[in-house]
A and B are shown apart, each in its own frame.
Chain A
């Protein structure tokens, strides 16, 4: 961890236009939750749709993608990363610091609204709200690590990230059950399921599979990102 890197990263996230998008995501989730609460007879029936599909399935990966790439890909893209790299700092510090910022932002902007939305829909019933929030915490951390890696590894991080989250996890996962085994969203749901009262949340992956995979993805992504950043080259003029 390096305080200066963290400070620059936070200011970069907030200082850019994409900063607005970071607020849209939680606002949208809360708005939908409020509407459901006010209009539905039994809002708790909508928990799986609002919290699971919309929240964890769509909004969380989008948010994590904006954050995960925003903490590093933008700087690599415009070349300003030079000012961090041309310093006697181990490059894995830069990666772990930026990852910490990304995870904190994802938790703040996704897990907290998820908890509030859950409470709006279900109150404290069956521990559903807390369970979804916990699922969002772990999935959010894994997404952040993966998307940060994409930000370091490819110039097309956003496209690759959207491809993974929306095409692989949502589209392919819908039709090919096997694909769900390799889905951060499903791992998060698996954690959520284990926390809530039995039968209130459904997940396709067993907890004994989900947890090790979450850890592996988070740790491996971080290591790879550090190695990649260590060997980052500056492309010359075309």
Chain B
């Protein structure tokens, strides 16, 4: 059993916080790392694959820290996001070289097997520089599989794939997951994650926003309470009008912010209710902002896409 443990990990670049105090465990089966662009997915995968030290916290494989530990690569296969890969080699030469670098007993057999898994034998004698995006992705995949790793990390593996290749790769990853391997892939597309991952970790703006199976994530996205910060020409009367209407779950006045904190029952309803109530009461709205902006934006993003 291979388990990657991310323990109170933060990573910053200068004053950009890319990953902010994240803790999670990635175990056997297929896990999807979901989040919009810039959420910190690649940064997390770089730390899990030993290519970036955490600024704080620890990333470990089965209890052994990953950073500066080349031995972990016996258990880890990495499919990086970037495309470049020794363009002047053929697919066969590339995968074979990877098998040799792992010091395998029979690198040729391992390369054959890996190329077979991704169904790339037909193009193995062409230079990788001539491959399409999807073909490159599959050969990268083969190079990550040559040593039959217990852990497979893939950064945005479906980018640039056509639907058929996508299905094929999903099938392959599903199989690896079923075999008890620890498979983690990142994606910013909800549908992809939904189709493939048994378990989902959501990251937003560097923070660990949610975790669970797909149904749980969906529920969180649609049912969670929505909080707003509202400023108007007459906060007191607005609060009274909203209470009278009865479609809010809670209202309080925040003296420090000089604004109302409103908890809406349902998101769709509130966005039409608030302007209507204000208009009827002759109150002008100055600010209406989601109190938990980053989460809010990702959920609306995820639901919309």
Contact = CB atoms under 8 A, between A and B. Distances in A.
A92 B46 CA distance: 21
B86 A12 contact: yes
Interface string A128-162: 00000000000000000000000000000000000
Interface in B85-140: 85-89, 94, 97-98, 100-103
A98 interface: no
Interface of A: 2-5, 7-8, 11-12, 15-16, 78-80, 82-91, 230-234, 236-237
A232 B103 contact: no
User: What size tier do the contact residues of chain B reach?
Assistant: 20 to 34
A234 B70 contact: no
Given A4-B100, A4-B101, A88-B102, A234 B86 contact: no
B70 A90 contact: yes
A79 B80 contact: yes
B88 A83 contact: no
Most B C-beta atoms less than 10 A away, residue of A91, A231, A236: A236
B73 A78 contact: no
Nearest to B82: A79
Interface of B: 13, 18, 42-43, 46, 49-53, 68, 70-71, 73-74, 76, 78, 80-82, 84-89, 94, 97-98, 100-103, 143
Contacts of A11: 86, 88-89
B143 A85 contact: no
Given A233-B52, A236-B42, A86 B76 contact: yes
Contact of A88 (B18, B68, B74, B89): B74
30 contacts: A2-B101, A3-B100, A5-B101, A8-B86, A8-B89, A11-B86, A11-B88, A15-B87, A79-B80, A79-B82, A82-B78, A83-B85, A86-B49, A86-B73, A88-B73, A89-B70, A89-B103, A90-B70, A91-B70, A230-B68, A231-B53, A231-B68, A232-B51, A233-B51, A234-B52, A234-B80, A236-B42, A236-B46, A237-B42, A237-B81
